[in-house]
Amino acid sequence: MTLRMTRRAFCGAMAGTAGLAALPVRATGPQTLTARVAKAQIAPPKYAPTEVWTYDGTLPGPLLRVAQGGRVTRRLVNELPVPTSIHWHGFRIDNAMDGVAGLTQEAVPPGGAFDYDFAVPDAGTYWYHAHTNSFVQVARGLSGALIVEEAEAPEVDRDEVLVLDDWLLNPEDAQFMQPFGHPMSLSHGGRLGNLLGTNGTFDFAREVRANERLRLRLINASNARIFVLRLAGLDGWTVALDGMPLPAPEPVEAELILAPAQRIDLIVDVTAEDGETAALVRFDDDDQWRPQARFPVAGKASATQRDGPAALPPNPNMAVPGIDSARRLDMAIQGGAMGRMSGAMMNGRSMGFREMAGQGQFWALSGQVGITDTPFASLERGETVRMKLTNDTAFAHAMHLHGMHFRQVADDGTLGPMRDTILSYPDEPLEIAFVADNPGKWLFHCHMLGHAASGMTAWINVS
């Protein structure tokens, strides 16, 4: 068996199939989320269903919706053969509910349960996913969307949540390729799938009408794939990033880049005509644009197009004041294949790169491999922090801060949109700033999950 099957093997095989699968949607979620093994038809129908790990048996997990200012209350019931926990990605919540096994809670053992209960301050598009051995558990399917509704939602004809993912399957039997942490993927770009899809299927489609206005909530739930996307037969605006509203809608003119864990909220109008197919298209590894989600047009919603949408109402506490007098931190992203790192500190001792690699560790953040006893930084509650990220590796990394959102600081000192995950490119230093207003132990890590598991994880303390 070879680990080098390409996605093309699947694409070729799927030509001529037209299977559609509907996203299981529940308006009100259950009061429990049960992590369990299930089967899902991710691949074209001629393939066997894939054994996946799920919440409540669906891939992705149940779509949860809650009103802004409301509470998320879910009991995680673990019916998996291994311990697990749930992280509520992008939520500015109580640290005890953050779901990071080994830092904010003990992992929930098989047969065990854990009650998550927290208030949600911010409206927007968020998601939840396993945070115990994430590089395995998220790859197996443990993730879902969590939408927080604005008190006054924008006027759209429909609101579609699109969970983008990729799966690395063995084309022989459509089961997950193992191991999940192959040294080759850990030390390079991460686990990239050979089958791409949306909402748990390789060929996601939703019928729309001409001139309909849709809100599309894009979530990248993949382990490591950076999606490069365009609109076809759709005219649109970006209205929020990582859940947080932009001050004004931005027309989509160029490609949209969606790194692992990032979200983009779009408002789009269907410009394709009756009988045509609009689509969200992605740029594939073989330089082809292919549909990531199809929107066949049947009928007309109205004769004319509408005016551009208004901005979403802002969330509370989006300002990052005082960046001139802010505390400065420097974080260097290091290691990996073709990197310049000769070694780093691991478990309190200095190690050469070879020795690290022998233990499955390939990356470091500012000279430290993985979680340390003492935090990367101890911050005072309420202080503003500027953190410079220098990427000394040969790869892009999707750097994610738990518990607080940040803004990128441009060279001229202006602040970018508020985000929780930012893509850092090799040799392009960038700076982020945030107010450390949420007390607790918060991870800062790469959301290429194999990278996080092989060294690229740090934490900060806010007290």
DSSP letter at 160 equals: E
Binder to ligand C2O among 443, 446, 460, 462 (CB under 6 A)? 443
DSSP letter at 9 equals: H
- C-alpha–C-alpha distance, residues 342 and 360, integer Å: 15
Contacts of 60 (CB under 8 A, 6+ apart): 141, 143, 144, 145, 163, 165, 199, 200, 221
Stretch binding ligand C2O (CB under 6 A), from 32-40, 234-242, 317-325, 441-449: 441-449
- The answer to whether 451 contacts Cu ion (rule: CB under 5 A) is yes
- C-alpha–C-alpha distance, residues 236 and 421, integer Å: 23
Contacts of 92 (CB under 8 A, 6+ apart): 121, 122, 317, 403, 404, 405, 438
Least distance between ligand C2O and beta carbon 145 (Å): 13
Considering the complex, state which of residue 187 and residue 292 has its C-beta at the smaller distance from Cu ion. 187
- C-alpha–C-alpha distance, residues 107 and 361, integer Å: 22
Binder to ligand C2O among 87, 386, 405, 407 (CB under 6 A)? 87
> What would the x/- binding string for ligand C2O be over residues 206 to 245, using CB under 6 A?
----------------------------------------
Considering the complex, state which of residue 229 and residue 443 has its C-beta at the smaller distance from ligand C2O. 443
**Dihedral sign of CA atoms 263, 264, 268, 272 in order:** negative
- C-alpha–C-alpha distance, residues 10 and 155, integer Å: 39
Considering the complex, state which of residue 293 and residue 443 has its C-beta at the smaller distance from ligand C2O. 443
Binder to ligand C2O among 74, 225, 397, 402 (CB under 6 A)? 402
Considering the complex, state which of residue 242 and residue 269 has its C-beta at the smaller distance from ligand C2O. 242
- The answer to whether 263 contacts ligand C2O (rule: CB under 6 A) is no
Considering the complex, state which of residue 282 and residue 445 has its C-beta at the smaller distance from ligand C2O. 445
Q: Look up residue 412 and give its two tokens.
A: 């001229």
Binder to ligand C2O among 35, 76, 234, 261 (CB under 6 A)? 261
Least distance between Cu ion and beta carbon 126 (Å): 21
- The answer to whether 282 contacts ligand C2O (rule: CB under 6 A) is no
- The answer to whether 419 contacts ligand C2O (rule: CB under 6 A) is no
Count CB neighbours of 121 within 10 A: 14
Total residue count of the chain as it appears in this document? 463
Q: What is the DSSP string of 175-212?
A: EEPS-TT-HHHHHTT----SEEEETTBSS-B--EEET-
Identify the CA nearest to 87 among candidates 65, 68, 72.
Answer: 72
> What would the x/- binding string for ligand C2O be over residues 88 to 127, using CB under 6 A?
-x--------------------------------------
> Per CB under 5 A, which of residues 370..399 are in contact with Cu ion?
397
- The answer to whether 448 contacts Cu ion (rule: CB under 5 A) is yes
- The answer to whether 397 contacts ligand C2O (rule: CB under 6 A) is no
- The answer to whether 258 contacts ligand C2O (rule: CB under 6 A) is no
**Dihedral sign of CA atoms 220, 224, 230, 236 in order:** positive
Binding residues for ligand C2O (CB under 6 A): 87, 89, 129, 131, 261, 400, 402, 443, 445, 447
Binding residues for Cu ion (CB under 5 A): 397, 446, 448, 451
